[in-house]
């Protein structure tokens, strides 16, 4: 729970600074996760991305790595006796046709003790499905 609180505080601090203006020569990728879950941009083409709130990439083929943090319960249940765990899943998305000036959206959500994610264009068409690289308590 502390990790989620720390991540939320860092995100709130990041929210205090405005997002940069999108560069029309690049593609902009927003991130979305349901309430209570935290989705952060991590890497572009295996290089660390400096701001967890979005991606901005050159046109063409790109590989995006995001991290989804969420609370899960041992045994997968929501029962009284289940012990909550703070999990982080790394998800990889590959897409070959990012276009300059276009907006995209990565959405991810928890799925029991794992996660799933998608890349959408601005018309809500699914362009790519995320591959879960790993999930755990100490990623």
Mean pLDDT of 94-102: 98
Residue 54 and residue 31 in contact, taking contact as beta carbons nearer than 8 Å: yes
Mean pLDDT of 81-102: 92
Mean pLDDT of 83-93: 93
Q: Report the sign of the C-alpha dihedral through residues 90, 92, 93, 96, in that order.
A: positive
pLDDT at 77: 53
Backbone angles phi, psi at 113, to 5 degrees: -100, 20
DSSP letter at 120?
E
Q: How far apart are alpha carbons 28 and 24 in whole angstroms? A: 9
pLDDT at 81: 61
pLDDT at 73: 76
Model confidence over 100-136: pLDDT tens digits? 999 999 999 999 889 999 999 999 999 999 999 999 9
Which uninterrupted H or E stretch holds 64?
Answer: strand 60-73
Model confidence over 16-74: pLDDT tens digits? 689 889 999 999 999 999 999 999 999 999 999 999 999 999 999 999 999 999 998 77
Q: Residue 78 pLDDT more than 90?
A: no
């Amino acid at each position: 729970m502390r990790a989620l609180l720390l991540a939320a505080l860092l995100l709130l601090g990041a929210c205090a600074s405005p997002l940069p203006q999108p560069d029309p020569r690049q593609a902009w990728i927003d991130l979305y996760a349901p309430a209570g879950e935290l989705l952060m941009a991590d890497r572009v083409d295996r290089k660390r991305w400096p701001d967890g709130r979005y991606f901005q990439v050159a046109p063409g083929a790109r590989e995006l790595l995001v991290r989804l943090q969420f609370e899960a319960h041992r045994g997968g249940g929501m029962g009284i006796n289940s012990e909550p765990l703070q999990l982080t899943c790394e998800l990889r998305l590959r897409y070959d046709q990012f276009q300059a000036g276009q907006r995209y959206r990565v959405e991810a959500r928890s799925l029991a003790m794992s996660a799933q994610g998608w890349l959408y264009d601005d018309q809500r068409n699914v362009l790519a499905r995320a591959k879960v690289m790993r999930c755990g308590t100490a990623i």
